[in-house]
Amino acid sequence: MNDSTLVNNMPNRSATSSGTLHNRANGTRPQDSTRLTKGQIERGGKTLTGICVGIVLITLASLIVMVTAKGLSTFISDGISPIAFLTGQVWDPHTLDASGLPTVGALPMIVGSFAVTLLSCAIVIPFAVGSAIYAVEVNPRFGRRFFRPALELLVGIPSVVFGLVGLTILVPLIRNISGGTGYGILAGSLVLAVMVLPTVTSLVIDALESVPAPYRQSSAALGGTRWQTIWHIVLRSATPGILTAVVLGMARAFGEALAVQMVIGNAPAMPTSLTQPASTLTSILTMNMGNEAMNTVYNDVLWSLALILLVMSLIFILIVHFIGRKSEVKHD
């Protein structure tokens, strides 16, 4: 029986083989019903990536709408004046003022945030630009092998580590030199400067490396020295990228919370000196947001502080895009 079955199956195999040879001879392949066509793959990929973009946009829009609605409820539902909120110098939400409204002057925190951000960036810029020039123009081999990896390691250090170092070393040092408690804008600025320095330096290095090599060669051909080339050619060509690095560094410094909270003193009062305890928008938020009940006046006021942070972040982003467009127009 096995021999007869084998004989009966031989014509079918021959027909299948002949059909396969015929398809190959005609340049066609056997049809596979489970295989997707190229058009289907393209449409599937477009749909998948479109869904990803939609999720990101919906998340971003939801975040902005939620923070805006919560932040504006202080002025719409609770009746607090926006001018009094932004210009008031006394922060005591649990105490009522003469008009029967909570005393919520946010100016000390706004001033503290800007003071810490500007001072830290003023400290960072010379070191970032100088080290980037050395790593790109003076000793590029050292920059590639050692300096850039070291910057990447510094970027990955958590902010709480910087705050702990500042709390145990920097605050006592300032206390011994200038007196007082050691907490204040100076301590917060120095901690932020160390945190922001790796990011700003890496971006400045990228800006310097993006300057075309013929620019340097043309300057050398005209008799320019290395430092003349760096000052008059490289830095001027990389100015948009350097400004972008500075703005991004300011954005990170403005929104930093934990490290600043550990060394600034968290006193919601108008700062009068760099060594006096002060506070920032982020420090007040991180200390109080979890302690207040939802839908209370104090909770709404904290959301208003978050709205100020959101607006400032959007402003920093718009500045970066403006610098980028100016650079594109200049190169065109």
- The residues, ordered by sequence, that sit 6+ positions from 220 with a Cβ below 8 Å of its Cβ are 229
Residue 78 to residue 96: CA distance in whole angstroms:
13
What is the pTM (predicted TM-score) of this model? 0.78
136, 161 in Cβ contact below 8 A? no
Q: Is 85 exposed, middle or buried (0-12, 13-18, 19+ CB in 10 A)?
A: buried
Q: Is 171 exposed, middle or buried (0-12, 13-18, 19+ CB in 10 A)?
A: buried
- Give the per-residue pLDDT at 1: 47
Residue 120 to residue 264: CA distance in whole angstroms:
13
- From the list 197, 170, 194, the residue with the least C-alpha distance to 265 is 170
Q: Which residue's entry shows tokens 């630009």?
A: 129
Residue 326 to residue 240: CA distance in whole angstroms:
8
- The residues, ordered by sequence, that sit 6+ positions from 108 with a Cβ below 8 Å of its Cβ are 89, 91, 268, 269, 270, 271, 278, 279
Q: Which residue's entry shows tokens 């001027």?
A: 236
The gap from C-alpha 43 to its chain's centroid, in whole angstroms, comes to: 33
Domains belonging to the chain, first-starting first, are 102-331 (1.10.3720.10)
Instruction: Give the bridge partners for 292, in sequence order.
Output: none
Question: How does DSSP classify residue 81?
Answer: -
pLDDT tens per residue across all 332 residues of the chain: 445 444 444 444 444 444 444 444 454 455 555 677 888 888 888 999 999 999 999 999 999 999 999 889 888 888 888 898 888 888 888 777 777 778 888 999 999 999 999 999 999 999 999 999 999 999 999 988 999 888 888 888 888 899 999 999 999 999 998 878 889 999 999 999 999 999 999 999 999 999 998 888 888 888 888 888 988 899 998 988 899 898 888 888 888 888 898 999 888 888 888 888 999 998 888 888 777 777 778 888 889 999 999 998 888 888 888 877 766 656 55
237, 160 in Cβ contact below 8 A? no
- The residues, ordered by sequence, that sit 6+ positions from 97 with a Cβ below 8 Å of its Cβ are 103
Residue 57 to residue 65: CA distance in whole angstroms:
12
Phi, psi of 89 (to 5 degrees): -110, 5
Residue 209 to residue 237: CA distance in whole angstroms:
11
Residue 59 to residue 107: CA distance in whole angstroms:
31
| Cα angle for residues 258, 261, 264 (degrees, 5° grid) | 145
